[in-house]
A and B are shown apart, each in its own frame.
Chain A
Amino acid sequence: MRALAAGLLLAAATACTRGGDRDRPRAALGLRARGEVVRELVPELERRHPGLKVEVQQIPWTAAHEKLLTGFVGREMPDVAQMGNTWIPEMAALDAIEPLDARVAASASVRPDDYYPGIWETNVLDGALYGIPWYVDTRLVFYRSDLLAAAGVLGMPRSWSGWREAMVAVKRTGGPGRFGLLLPTNEWAQPVTLAVAAGAELLSDGGRHGAFAAPEFRRAAEFFIGLYRDGLAPPLANSQVANLYQQMAAGEFAMYVTGPWNLGEFRRRLPASLQGSWATAPLPAPDGMPWPGVSLAGGSSLVVFRSSPRKDAAWKVVEFLSEPATQKRFWALCGDLPARRSAWDEPALAGDGRTASFRLQLEHVRATPKVPEWEQIAAKVWERLEPVARGAKGLDESLARLDADVETILEKRRWLLDRKAAGARK
């Protein structure tokens, strides 16, 4: 979920007492322009582990992915890094990050059962664990309860058909300047979230082929495209929404599927008069499926690099940042939702209804396909769906084309898997 993150920071963990930059273990921690927060936590860590020196390096989130890859090629890697959990398959394919199963088994503080299972699962590839969830995000519905109430909808609906009816009612009562839902057209997460809720596998056969023509994805695509076609959602990209919060405040959109970074933004940027009139709710489920609807397992994990000569020290940094107490402090300092369930006991987190929706949603999340090609595939989804939303192409044809695109993208992966299988047979 790197979409809305604004700043990443490279942090460095150091175990040695000798000076000099060369000796310092470095760690890359990604944060949304909140590098200072980790710097604030570092003295406590260094106090507990005398001899450990941590050097925090901040890099912009948008450049982080490229920077890590070029760093890998140039053999200039940090010791520890924060990484969007969708990058983990790529880094594991490069053999750049260290499996952590043995360290977790031996750890007194990192306890797998204290994490949300869907989020934990994003870090597991072929049975090996490559990252420890640090903070989590997922998407659910933010809505203007007053606009829904004015349209006669009391409380957020729990099924897709109810959801759609609510949008129709909002549109009917609100007139042409109001839309039921904002679904930015340039975010692959929007259609993919709905597809995951409908039970779509997205890729089949261990990530060998696309499964976009499958009935589950088709059902989600029909629902999603119908929202644009029937004028319930405006066909706008993020860049076309001039000021989301002003437009939310003006009542242009009654609902918006988005993530936890907007909890703070809505509080800060919606006028005081509206602070009692917005709420969050877990995703509605497709009719006939249990509520809440499944959403995407997003967030960031902490990884240890294989190239690091100071893995033990790096692991200490991971353990420290994973402690419930540190997680609570981190949340208080910058608002990122903690990955540890026990950190959610914090009264300010537990007592807030808007945050509680996230807690419930996080118990119902699923990872996107864990293949390095995923983001490239995801970028194709809207490319193929948009002509359908604009009525220029038929859905079946476009889904077939999407599968064909994905077939090409995954050709190399199939070849590698087949070669590996052949090698194992010998």
Chain B
Amino acid sequence: MRGLSSWRAREARSGLLLVAPGLLLLSAFLALPVVASLLLSLTDFDLYAVGDPSNARVVGLRNYARLLHDPVFWKALGNTFFFVVVGGPLTVSLALGTALLLNHKLVRFPGLFRTIYFAPVVTTLVAVAAVWKYLYHPRFGLLNAALGLFGVGAIDWLGDPHWAMPAIVLMAAWKNFGASMIIFVAGLKAIPESLYEAARLDGAGPWQRFRLITVPLLAPTFLFVGLTTTIGYFQLFAEPYVMSGGDGGPMNATLSVALFMYKQGFRWWSIGASASIAFVLFAVILGATLLQRRLQKGGEA
């Protein structure tokens, strides 16, 4: 017995030794900064404190209380939810649709099309934004010209507060769907062809094969893509940053929570307040992710 327990202790020790480098790295580069910013969010660290740290005060939860009373924060939160709720499903369905098309046996050159659809993902956002600004131009833009053929009047996509966020959603969906598409393609490839053959022999039509074979077998992929897209979209920052010149305008219509946090921190140097926004955003994402997991698990059952 003694021999066994000492062997166990030795094993535990060597195990600890083996994970120690990883643990150290994690705590140095993840845990410490997180704790530091949590503490920072309880202070009013700002520009004055950058010059002289004795100008910082511990203010408890005041940053959080102020945030909840700030209409701009609620506006940013609403914009972010709009982006997630509209942009997320749009991106995922675009990705699933193209993946199904690419996976179809009749498609010639699937590799070429995969590359084409994936290209926006690896293109620099700043270059993409420059092109999309032209597309969205109220007078000379391609989009309005196309809509004009159907008799739709000119829309000021990026200047009108009502249209600015939908414009960002459209661009982000185009830019991002390729990544999820690749994952869906991999998921589809993993479904054995024999299942479809068996279903066909049993007389199942294309819609039934999709609903009864593809959907359930793709569920884990779906969950993964859904979660990563949701989490990524809650952190919306770069798209409105480049499209609105860093402002989140017009009239805060494209201000996301992350952009609001950036403005507080690096524009006005209210570092403490900015850190509190980070934690609120974290809580929102955590809550939404848990909810989504429960919903999707429920759908599976």
Partner of A69, one of B72, B251, B269: B269
Q: Which of B52, B252, B266 contacts A95 (CB 8 A)?
A: B52
The answer to whether residues A94 and B50 also contact, given A69-B269, A237-B249 and a CB cut-off of 8 A, is: yes
B48 within 8 A of A: yes
What chain B residues lie within 8 Å of A239 (beta carbons)? 158-159, 244-245, 249-250
CA distance A94 to B72 in the complex (A): 28
Alpha-carbon distance A239/B66, docked complex (angstroms): 31
Give the distance in Å from the alpha carbon of A408 to the alpha carbon of B51 in the complex.
21
- CB-contact partner of B50 in A72, A186, A242, A386, under 8 A: A72
Which residues of chain B are within 8 angstroms of A372 by Cβ–Cβ distance? Answer: 47-48
For residue A113, CB closer than 8 A to chain B, the reply is no
User: Within 8 Å of chain B (Cβ to Cβ): is A360?
Assistant: no
B140 touches A242 (CB 8 A): yes
Minimum distance in angstroms from B138 CB to a CB of chain A: 6
A273 interfacial by beta-carbon distance below 8 Å: no
A237 to B245, CA, bound (A): 13
**CA A73 to CA B51, docked complex, whole Å:** 8
Q: At the interface, yes or no: A146 with Cβ under 8 Å from chain B?
A: no
Q: Looking at chain A's contact residues, is the secondary structure mostly helix, strand, loop, or mixed?
A: helix
B268 on the interface (CB 8 Å rule)?
yes
Interface size class of B (residues with CB under 8 A): 20 to 34
In chain A, positions 218-254 with a C-beta closer than 8 Å to chain B are 236-237, 239-240, 242
B249 touches A96 (CB 8 A): no
A416 at the interface (CB under 8 A from B): yes
Q: Which residue of A lies closest to B139 (CB)?
A: A242
In the assembled complex, the Cα of A73 lies from the Cα of B49 at a distance in Å of: 11
Asked, given contacts A186-B250, A239-B250, A376-B268, whether A416 binds B48 with beta carbons under 8 Å apart, the answer is: yes
Complex interface bits, A375-403 against B, C-beta within 8 A gives 1, otherwise 0:
11000000100100000000000000000
Q: With A239-B158, A376-B268 as given contacts, are A412 and B251 in contact (CB-CB < 8 Å)?
A: no
Interface core residue of B138, B244, B249, B250 (most chain A CB under 10 Å): B250
Q: Are B158 and A412 in contact (CB under 8 A)?
A: no
Residues of A within 8 Å of B250, CB to CB, are 186, 237, 239-240
* Docked-complex contact B159 and A236, CB < 8 angstroms: yes
Interface of B is mostly: loop
Closest to B66 in A: A408
CA distance A236 to B246 in the complex (A): 18
Question: How many CB-defined contacts (below 8 Å) exist between A and B?
Answer: 57
CB pair B50–A416 under 8 Å, yes or no, is no
A90 close to chain B: CB less than 8 A:
yes
CB distance from B218 to the nearest CB of A (A): 42
Residues A93 and B47 in contact, CB atoms below 8 Å apart = yes
A386 contacts B44, C-beta separation under 8 Å: no
Q: Is A352 part of the binding interface, using a Cβ–Cβ cutoff of 8 Å?
A: no
B156:A240 contact, CB within 8 angstroms? yes
Supplied contacts A69-B50, A412-B48, 12 more A-B pairs, CB within 8 Å: A69-B47, A186-B247, A237-B159, A240-B159, A240-B250, A242-B137, A242-B138, A242-B140, A373-B268, A383-B252, A386-B251, A408-B66
CA of A90 to CA of B48, assembled, Å: 9
B46 within 8 A of A: yes
The verdict on B55 contacting chain A, using a C-beta distance below 8 Å, is yes
For the complex, give the distance between the alpha carbons of A416 and B44 in Å.
12
A69 — which chain B residues lie within 8 A by C-beta? 47, 50, 269
Report if A96-B51 is in contact (Cβ < 8 Å); known contacts: A237-B249, A240-B138. Answer: yes
For the complex, what is the distance from the CA of A373 to the CA of B268, rounded to whole Å?
A: 8
List, sorted by A's number, 30 A–B pairs whose CB atoms are closer than 8 Å. Answer: A62-B245, A69-B47, A69-B269, A72-B50, A73-B50, A90-B47, A95-B52, A96-B51, A186-B250, A236-B159, A237-B159, A237-B250, A239-B159, A239-B244, A239-B245, A239-B249, A239-B250, A240-B138, A240-B156, A242-B137, A242-B138, A242-B140, A372-B47, A373-B268, A376-B267, A383-B72, A408-B66, A412-B44, A412-B46, A416-B48
Residues of A within 8 A of B52 (CB): 95
Residues of B within 8 A of A237 (CB): 159, 249-250
Residue of A242, A383, A408 contacting most chain B CB atoms (<10 Å): A242
Which residues of A are found within 8 Å of B139, using beta-carbon distances?
242
